[in-house]
Structure 1
Protein backbone atom coordinates (compact mmCIF):
# COMPACT_ATOMS: atom_id res chain seq x y z
CA UNK A 1 0.00 0.00 0.00
CA UNK A 2 2.72 2.49 0.94
CA UNK A 3 4.83 1.79 -2.15
CA UNK A 4 2.89 4.50 -3.95
CA UNK A 5 4.23 7.06 -1.46
CA UNK A 6 7.88 6.18 -2.15
CA UNK A 7 9.89 9.38 -2.59
CA UNK A 8 13.17 7.54 -3.26
CA UNK A 9 14.81 9.72 -0.63
CA UNK A 10 16.72 6.77 0.85
CA UNK A 11 17.60 5.04 -2.42
CA UNK A 12 20.87 6.45 -3.84
CA UNK A 13 20.14 5.23 -7.38
CA UNK A 14 16.70 6.83 -7.51
CA UNK A 15 17.85 9.95 -5.65
CA UNK A 16 20.09 10.97 -8.56
CA UNK A 17 17.19 10.79 -11.02
CA UNK A 18 14.85 12.65 -8.67
CA UNK A 19 17.39 15.43 -8.08
CA UNK A 20 18.21 15.88 -11.75
CA UNK A 21 14.56 16.16 -12.73
CA UNK A 22 13.86 18.62 -9.91
CA UNK A 23 16.74 20.82 -11.02
CA UNK A 24 15.64 20.48 -14.63
CA UNK A 25 12.13 21.69 -13.86
CA UNK A 26 13.37 24.52 -11.66
CA UNK A 27 15.63 25.65 -14.48
CA UNK A 28 12.78 25.33 -16.96
CA UNK A 29 10.42 27.44 -14.87
CA UNK A 30 13.07 30.03 -14.08
CA UNK A 31 13.93 30.38 -17.77
CA UNK A 32 10.28 30.91 -18.71
CA UNK A 33 9.26 33.11 -15.76
CA UNK A 34 10.12 36.45 -17.43
CA UNK A 35 8.07 35.53 -20.50
CA UNK A 36 5.14 34.21 -18.49
CA UNK A 37 5.16 37.09 -16.01
CA UNK A 38 5.25 39.83 -18.64
CA UNK A 39 2.71 38.07 -20.84
CA UNK A 40 0.24 37.46 -18.00
CA UNK A 41 0.65 41.04 -16.78
CA UNK A 42 -0.03 42.32 -20.30
CA UNK A 43 -3.12 40.21 -21.02
CA UNK A 44 -4.51 40.73 -17.49
CA UNK A 45 -4.67 44.51 -17.77
CA UNK A 46 -8.18 45.67 -16.87
CA UNK A 47 -9.22 42.41 -15.22
CA UNK A 48 -10.33 42.13 -11.62
CA UNK A 49 -8.23 40.30 -9.04
CA UNK A 50 -10.89 37.57 -8.94
CA UNK A 51 -10.67 37.08 -12.73
CA UNK A 52 -6.88 37.10 -12.58
CA UNK A 53 -6.68 34.50 -9.79
CA UNK A 54 -9.25 32.22 -11.41
CA UNK A 55 -7.65 32.50 -14.85
CA UNK A 56 -4.05 32.09 -13.72
CA UNK A 57 -4.31 29.81 -10.69
CA UNK A 58 -7.63 28.02 -10.36
CA UNK A 59 -8.51 27.02 -13.93
CA UNK A 60 -5.03 25.65 -14.76
CA UNK A 61 -4.89 23.80 -11.42
CA UNK A 62 -8.31 22.21 -11.96
CA UNK A 63 -7.54 21.24 -15.56
CA UNK A 64 -4.19 19.77 -14.48
CA UNK A 65 -5.82 17.86 -11.62
CA UNK A 66 -8.43 16.34 -13.92
CA UNK A 67 -5.86 15.57 -16.65
CA UNK A 68 -3.41 13.82 -14.32
CA UNK A 69 -6.18 12.02 -12.45
CA UNK A 70 -7.81 10.60 -15.57
CA UNK A 71 -4.81 10.00 -17.81
CA UNK A 72 -2.44 9.11 -14.97
CA UNK A 73 -4.69 6.27 -13.84
CA UNK A 74 -5.32 5.30 -17.47
CA UNK A 75 -1.56 5.11 -18.09
CA UNK A 76 -0.87 3.08 -14.95
CA UNK A 77 -3.69 0.61 -15.56
CA UNK A 78 -2.86 0.21 -19.26
CA UNK A 79 0.82 -0.24 -18.38
CA UNK A 80 -0.07 -3.06 -15.99
CA UNK A 81 -1.78 -4.95 -18.82
CA UNK A 82 0.63 -4.03 -21.62
CA UNK A 83 4.19 -4.04 -20.24
CA UNK A 84 5.69 -3.00 -23.61
CA UNK A 85 4.52 0.57 -22.93
CA UNK A 86 7.24 0.89 -20.29
CA UNK A 87 9.86 0.01 -22.91
CA UNK A 88 8.80 2.96 -25.06
CA UNK A 89 10.50 6.35 -24.86
CA UNK A 90 8.80 8.94 -22.65
CA UNK A 91 7.87 10.96 -25.74
CA UNK A 92 5.84 8.08 -27.20
CA UNK A 93 4.34 6.46 -24.09
CA UNK A 94 1.19 8.60 -24.18
CA UNK A 95 0.46 7.41 -27.71
CA UNK A 96 1.34 3.85 -26.70
CA UNK A 97 -1.33 4.02 -24.01
CA UNK A 98 -3.83 5.46 -26.49
CA UNK A 99 -3.16 2.53 -28.86
CA UNK A 100 -4.66 0.18 -26.26
CA UNK A 101 -7.87 2.05 -25.39
CA UNK A 102 -11.13 2.63 -27.25
CA UNK A 103 -11.11 5.82 -29.34
CA UNK A 104 -7.31 5.80 -29.21
CA UNK A 105 -6.98 7.51 -32.58
CA UNK A 106 -9.32 10.29 -31.47
CA UNK A 107 -7.39 10.72 -28.21
CA UNK A 108 -4.09 10.78 -30.14
CA UNK A 109 -5.42 13.50 -32.44
CA UNK A 110 -6.62 15.53 -29.45
CA UNK A 111 -3.21 15.09 -27.78
CA UNK A 112 -1.42 16.24 -30.95
CA UNK A 113 -3.74 19.25 -31.15
CA UNK A 114 -3.02 20.13 -27.51
CA UNK A 115 0.74 19.71 -27.98
CA UNK A 116 0.70 21.87 -31.12
CA UNK A 117 -1.41 24.56 -29.44
CA UNK A 118 0.98 24.57 -26.47
CA UNK A 119 4.02 25.12 -28.69
CA UNK A 120 2.29 27.70 -30.87
CA UNK A 121 0.94 29.77 -27.97
CA UNK A 122 4.27 29.51 -26.12
CA UNK A 123 6.19 30.70 -29.19
CA UNK A 124 3.66 33.48 -29.80
CA UNK A 125 3.92 34.64 -26.18
CA UNK A 126 7.71 34.49 -26.32
CA UNK A 127 7.87 36.54 -29.54
CA UNK A 128 5.48 39.09 -28.04
CA UNK A 129 7.51 39.46 -24.82
CA UNK A 130 10.85 39.49 -26.65
CA UNK A 131 9.42 42.14 -28.96
CA UNK A 132 8.36 44.22 -25.97
CA UNK A 133 11.76 43.85 -24.31
CA UNK A 134 13.75 44.72 -27.43
CA UNK A 135 11.65 47.79 -28.28
CA UNK A 136 12.30 49.42 -24.91
CA UNK A 137 9.05 48.26 -23.31
CA UNK A 138 6.67 49.10 -26.14
CA UNK A 139 3.28 47.65 -25.27
CA UNK A 140 2.61 46.89 -28.93
CA UNK A 141 5.80 45.81 -30.70
CA UNK A 142 5.65 45.91 -34.48
CA UNK A 143 4.81 42.78 -36.42
CA UNK A 144 8.25 42.88 -38.06
CA UNK A 145 10.00 42.67 -34.68
CA UNK A 146 7.82 39.71 -33.67
CA UNK A 147 8.45 37.99 -37.02
CA UNK A 148 12.22 38.39 -36.57
CA UNK A 149 11.98 36.84 -33.10
CA UNK A 150 9.74 34.06 -34.39
CA UNK A 151 12.19 33.19 -37.18
CA UNK A 152 15.06 33.32 -34.67
CA UNK A 153 13.25 30.88 -32.37
CA UNK A 154 12.48 28.55 -35.27
CA UNK A 155 16.12 28.59 -36.41
CA UNK A 156 17.38 27.90 -32.89
CA UNK A 157 14.92 24.99 -32.53
CA UNK A 158 15.99 23.62 -35.91
CA UNK A 159 19.70 23.84 -35.04
CA UNK A 160 19.09 22.14 -31.69
CA UNK A 161 17.16 19.34 -33.41
CA UNK A 162 20.02 18.84 -35.85
CA UNK A 163 22.58 18.91 -33.04
CA UNK A 164 20.59 16.29 -31.14
CA UNK A 165 20.84 13.85 -34.03
CA UNK A 166 17.94 11.75 -35.25
CA UNK A 167 16.54 11.15 -31.76
CA UNK A 168 15.18 14.67 -31.34
CA UNK A 169 13.42 14.74 -34.69
CA UNK A 170 12.02 11.22 -34.26
CA UNK A 171 10.31 12.06 -30.97
Structure 2
Protein backbone atom coordinates (compact mmCIF):
# COMPACT_ATOMS: atom_id res chain seq x y z
CA UNK A 1 0.00 0.00 0.00
CA UNK A 2 1.51 3.31 -1.07
CA UNK A 3 0.30 6.85 -1.54
CA UNK A 4 0.75 8.45 -4.94
CA UNK A 5 -0.23 11.77 -6.46
CA UNK A 6 -3.44 12.01 -8.46
CA UNK A 7 -3.20 12.51 -12.19
CA UNK A 8 -5.10 15.31 -13.92
CA UNK A 9 -7.66 12.83 -15.24
CA UNK A 10 -8.25 11.42 -11.78
CA UNK A 11 -8.58 14.92 -10.32
CA UNK A 12 -11.18 15.78 -12.95
CA UNK A 13 -13.04 12.52 -12.19
CA UNK A 14 -13.06 13.40 -8.49
CA UNK A 15 -14.29 16.94 -9.21
CA UNK A 16 -17.01 15.58 -11.47
CA UNK A 17 -18.10 13.03 -8.86
CA UNK A 18 -18.08 15.68 -6.14
CA UNK A 19 -20.29 17.95 -8.24
CA UNK A 20 -22.65 15.03 -8.97
CA UNK A 21 -22.92 14.28 -5.23
CA UNK A 22 -23.77 17.91 -4.47
CA UNK A 23 -26.39 18.30 -7.21
CA UNK A 24 -28.00 14.93 -6.42
CA UNK A 25 -28.21 15.83 -2.73
CA UNK A 26 -29.91 19.16 -3.38
CA UNK A 27 -32.20 17.67 -6.04
CA UNK A 28 -33.41 14.97 -3.63
CA UNK A 29 -33.94 17.51 -0.84
CA UNK A 30 -36.12 19.69 -3.06
CA UNK A 31 -38.04 16.67 -4.36
CA UNK A 32 -38.80 15.20 -0.93
CA UNK A 33 -39.61 18.56 0.64
CA UNK A 34 -42.07 19.25 -2.18
CA UNK A 35 -43.72 15.86 -1.71
CA UNK A 36 -44.05 16.42 2.06
CA UNK A 37 -45.55 19.90 1.75
CA UNK A 38 -47.91 19.10 -1.13
CA UNK A 39 -48.92 15.77 0.42
CA UNK A 40 -49.74 17.41 3.74
CA UNK A 41 -51.73 20.14 2.04
CA UNK A 42 -53.66 17.61 -0.04
CA UNK A 43 -54.36 15.66 3.14
CA UNK A 44 -55.60 18.83 4.85
CA UNK A 45 -57.96 19.90 2.04
CA UNK A 46 -60.69 17.29 2.81
CA UNK A 47 -60.67 18.35 6.46
CA UNK A 48 -60.94 21.96 5.42
CA UNK A 49 -63.85 21.21 3.07
CA UNK A 50 -65.63 19.10 5.72
CA UNK A 51 -65.46 21.73 8.44
CA UNK A 52 -66.80 25.09 7.43
CA UNK A 53 -65.82 26.49 10.80
CA UNK A 54 -62.06 26.14 10.42
CA UNK A 55 -59.88 27.54 13.18
CA UNK A 56 -56.32 28.77 13.39
CA UNK A 57 -55.46 25.60 15.31
CA UNK A 58 -55.99 23.56 12.16
CA UNK A 59 -53.48 25.66 10.26
CA UNK A 60 -50.94 25.43 13.09
CA UNK A 61 -51.43 21.67 13.30
CA UNK A 62 -50.85 21.32 9.56
CA UNK A 63 -47.70 23.42 9.78
CA UNK A 64 -46.58 21.29 12.75
CA UNK A 65 -47.09 18.07 10.79
CA UNK A 66 -45.11 19.46 7.86
CA UNK A 67 -42.30 20.54 10.22
CA UNK A 68 -42.24 17.12 11.90
CA UNK A 69 -41.89 15.42 8.54
CA UNK A 70 -39.16 17.81 7.43
CA UNK A 71 -36.96 17.18 10.50
CA UNK A 72 -35.83 13.66 9.42
CA UNK A 73 -35.29 15.00 5.91
CA UNK A 74 -33.05 17.74 7.28
CA UNK A 75 -31.09 15.23 9.39
CA UNK A 76 -30.56 12.99 6.34
CA UNK A 77 -29.50 16.03 4.30
CA UNK A 78 -26.89 16.99 6.89
CA UNK A 79 -25.67 13.40 7.28
CA UNK A 80 -25.13 13.10 3.54
CA UNK A 81 -22.68 15.99 3.73
CA UNK A 82 -20.15 13.67 5.40
CA UNK A 83 -19.38 11.89 2.11
CA UNK A 84 -19.06 15.20 0.29
CA UNK A 85 -16.63 16.49 2.92
CA UNK A 86 -14.53 13.33 2.63
CA UNK A 87 -14.41 13.56 -1.14
CA UNK A 88 -13.45 17.25 -1.08
CA UNK A 89 -10.67 16.56 1.46
CA UNK A 90 -9.40 13.78 -0.83
CA UNK A 91 -9.38 16.23 -3.71
CA UNK A 92 -7.49 18.82 -1.64
CA UNK A 93 -4.87 16.31 -0.52
CA UNK A 94 -4.30 15.25 -4.13
CA UNK A 95 -3.26 11.73 -3.23
CA UNK A 96 -4.54 8.21 -3.74
CA UNK A 97 -3.74 4.87 -2.16
CA UNK A 98 -2.76 2.00 -4.40
CA UNK A 99 -1.53 -1.49 -3.80
CA UNK A 100 -2.19 -5.21 -4.01
CA UNK A 101 -3.60 -7.47 -1.36
CA UNK A 102 -5.53 -10.67 -0.81
CA UNK A 103 -9.24 -10.73 0.03
CA UNK A 104 -9.75 -11.56 3.69
CA UNK A 105 -13.56 -11.39 3.73
CA UNK A 106 -16.51 -9.99 1.79
CA UNK A 107 -19.58 -8.51 3.46
CA UNK A 108 -22.51 -9.92 1.47
CA UNK A 109 -24.88 -7.11 2.44
CA UNK A 110 -22.96 -4.03 1.30
CA UNK A 111 -20.24 -5.79 -0.77
CA UNK A 112 -17.41 -4.34 1.33
CA UNK A 113 -14.19 -6.26 0.75
CA UNK A 114 -11.77 -6.48 3.68
CA UNK A 115 -8.20 -7.05 2.56
CA UNK A 116 -5.38 -8.66 4.53
CA UNK A 117 -3.47 -5.37 4.82
CA UNK A 118 -6.45 -3.71 6.58
CA UNK A 119 -7.79 -1.74 3.62
CA UNK A 120 -11.53 -1.87 3.01
CA UNK A 121 -12.77 -1.51 -0.57
CA UNK A 122 -16.33 -1.51 -1.85
CA UNK A 123 -16.87 -3.88 -4.77
CA UNK A 124 -17.59 -1.89 -7.96
CA UNK A 125 -20.79 -2.69 -9.83
CA UNK A 126 -18.98 -3.94 -12.92
CA UNK A 127 -17.27 -6.62 -10.80
CA UNK A 128 -20.37 -7.65 -8.86
CA UNK A 129 -19.83 -11.10 -7.29
CA UNK A 130 -16.58 -11.78 -9.17
CA UNK A 131 -14.28 -11.49 -6.14
CA UNK A 132 -13.88 -14.45 -3.80
CA UNK A 133 -12.05 -14.97 -0.54
CA UNK A 134 -8.36 -15.49 -1.26
CA UNK A 135 -8.27 -13.54 -4.58
CA UNK A 136 -5.42 -11.11 -5.17
CA UNK A 137 -6.78 -7.62 -5.86
CA UNK A 138 -5.09 -4.55 -7.28
CA UNK A 139 -6.75 -1.37 -6.01
CA UNK A 140 -6.49 2.39 -6.34
CA UNK A 141 -8.72 4.32 -3.93
CA UNK A 142 -8.99 7.75 -2.39
CA UNK A 143 -7.59 8.02 1.17
CA UNK A 144 -11.09 8.19 2.69
CA UNK A 145 -12.25 5.21 0.58
CA UNK A 146 -15.05 7.40 -0.77
CA UNK A 147 -14.01 6.95 -4.39
CA UNK A 148 -12.56 3.91 -6.18
CA UNK A 149 -10.30 4.60 -9.16
CA UNK A 150 -9.59 0.96 -9.87
CA UNK A 151 -10.32 -2.38 -8.23
CA UNK A 152 -9.64 -5.54 -10.20
CA UNK A 153 -8.41 -9.10 -9.90
CA UNK A 154 -4.76 -9.82 -10.49
Question: Same fold, TM exceeding 0.5?
Answer: no
Please say which structure displays the higher CA radius of gyration: 2
More relative contact order, 1 or 2 (CA 8 Å, 6+ apart):
2
- Larger proportion of strand: 2
TM-score by length of structure 1 reads 0.27
